[in-house]
Amino acid sequence: MSTTSFAARRRLAAIGALAAAGAGVFALLWGFTESPFAILIAMILFVGAFGFGWVALTRRDADRRRSAWIAGVLFAGALIAAVGGHSEGWVIVLGGVSVAVSLPLGRYALGRDRRSLAALPPPGVAVPAASKPVLLINPRSGDGKAERVGLVEAARSRGIECHEFGPGIDLRQLAQDAVTAGADVVGVAGGDGSQAIVADVVSRAGCQMVCVPVGTRNHFAMDLGLDRADPVAALEAFGDARLKTVDLARVNGQAFLNNVSMGVYGSVVQSASYRERKVETAMEKLPTLLENPPDLRFMGPDGEPHTTVHIVHVSNNPYLLDVRGAGGRPSLRTGELGIVTAELGGPAAVTDMFARAAVGLLSSASGFNSWTADRFEVDADGLIEAGIDGEAIELTPPAVFTIEPGVLQVRIPTTAIGRSPAAFVPEVRHAAAELVRRAFLPTDHWQPLPRR
């Protein structure tokens, strides 16, 4: 495709995105002005449904069932009020669809679609193929994903030495044995907890690591910019690849790659039934945990002590607290911990928190705090129940969090994007201004959007 044709397609996408967004906003406003009473009633009913839904989560037995029924009735009433019996309601629905359609068009126009990102120069520095590659594989991780994709066979066909691990096998010792035997690149095919163990060994030895995403969520692989749907493609990192250096965080000396959650989640994940019955276990324990939050004490960003929070979340580099990039970290090289805490009050307070999150104003919610630091400490009178990279653990207080900047060397396939999706979530005002430029101005006025 010629450069001129490519630019023309970007321009058409930008015009389409602006037109769809404008039509959507116009339809939403028109529907509201034509039937303000019905829409206002719908909004009140939606808020009521959310509030009673929260009550259903935080109560037991008959109170839970009664609140769930009320939430369902209010939600149905909200839908009827919004779209039933008058055309304006359907205009609002179509407006919402138009706004949704504008998003992929905007991503393409701004060069933020997957194909465009894959065409960017890969990050990191070029490194030659490993001289003694070793891959440690958990065949049971991700419900047996490694076996389903034939990972062992694919690795051995590339000359990679493979060792399986699982119950009864010490992964840390396995990784240490590989390093002692002269492995210069050690890969691990497992969940994020397994990735963290091998990362600890590799960083101490000064070797290089390959992340093969066969776990359930693979958050570390996502923020490395790997294709989580294709674990076999990650094996290409044992050949000619790109090398990135990333941070490694620790709590009481134990390494973690993603995050440590304390409070409500940290207590729920301790249950033996959590692995098989996540939702049911959370609903069983949530009422008690909200009424009696775990004993956690720490100093907030304002220097004041906090003792009654329900959630304390500490991450290896801060997450993007934006609904468009939730669950991702723009960078793994900031050298800072991301700290998020929340006090979950009554239904009104929780509704307000979620509503603010939906419009990008979560940081202004009452009871919510987020900040960064290179050290953080959480104290308690007894053991602190936590989930570390998704694995249940009990921490001896005080839980001391630190971060080691740039100590982990990770190899990325040259075909991978190599950057977190969260790094490409633009500021709304920057994106809107650039869409206008790409729709109506010559290409020499187009500007690349800054990465986070």
Give 17-70 pLDDT, tens digit per residue: 888 888 877 876 776 676 666 666 666 666 666 666 655 554 555 655 776 777
The fraction of the chain above a pLDDT of 70, given in percent, is 74
What are the residue boundaries of the structural domains of the chain, listed by start?
Answer: 3-119+426-445, 129-239, 259-405
* Pick from 25, 36, 175, 168: nearest CA to 95: 25
Question: Whole-angstrom Cα distance, residue 437 to residue 423?
Answer: 22
What's the pTM value of the predicted model, to 2 decimals?
Answer: 0.78
Judge whether residue 445 has pLDDT over 60. Answer: yes
Judge whether residue 9 has pLDDT over 90. Answer: no
* Pick from 184, 161, 141, 181: nearest CA to 235: 161
Q: What pLDDT is recorded for position 395?
A: 92
Q: What pLDDT is recorded for position 246?
A: 96
Q: What pLDDT is recorded for position 351?
A: 64
Distances (CA, A) of 379 to 263, 288, 307, 402: 12, 21, 10, 15
Q: What is the mean pLDDT of residues 319-336?
A: 80
Q: What pLDDT is recorded for position 361?
A: 66
List the single range of 59-68, 147-156, 177-186 with lowest mean pLDDT: 59-68
Give the distance from CA 122 to its chain's centroid.
Answer: 22
**Confidence label for 332 from pLDDT (cuts 50, 70 and 90):** very high
Q: What pLDDT is recorded for position 277?
A: 47
Give the model confidence (pLDDT) of 356-385 as tens digits: 665 666 676 777 888 999 999 999 998 988
Distances (CA, A) of 375 to 250, 299, 399, 432: 10, 11, 11, 37
Same fold, 129-239 and 259-405: no
List the single range of 28-42, 89-103, 159-173 with lowest mean pLDDT: 28-42
Q: What is the CATH architecture assignment of 129-239?
A: 3-Layer(aba) Sandwich (3.40)
Any alpha helices (H) in 161-231, and if so which ranges?
A: 171-180, 192-205, 219-224
State how beta strands 375-378 and 254-256 pair. unpaired
Q: What pLDDT is recorded for position 50?
A: 60
Whether residue 119 contacts residue 34, with contact meaning beta carbons closer than 8 Å, is answered with: no
Judge whether residue 83 has pLDDT over 80. Answer: no
| Mean pLDDT, the chain, integer | 81
Judge whether residue 158 has pLDDT over 70. Answer: yes
Q: What is the mean pLDDT of residues 75-94?
A: 64
Which of the listed ranges 20-34, 147-161, 276-290, 339-353 does the model predict with the highest average pLDDT? 147-161
List the single range of 89-93, 330-334, 408-412, 429-433 with lowest mean pLDDT: 89-93
Question: Whole-angstrom Cα distance, residue 191 to residue 196?
Answer: 9
Q: Which CATH class is domain 259-405?
A: mainly beta
Question: Whole-angstrom Cα distance, residue 118 to residue 138?
Answer: 29
Judge whether residue 233 has pLDDT over 90. Answer: yes
List the single range of 41-50, 114-123, 294-303 with lowest mean pLDDT: 41-50
Q: What pLDDT is recorded for position 274?
A: 43
Structure tokens at 223: 């923020």
Q: What pLDDT is recorded for position 273?
A: 46
Comparing 353 with 212, which gets the higher pLDDT? 212
Full DSSP string of 356-369: HHHTT-GGGSTTEE
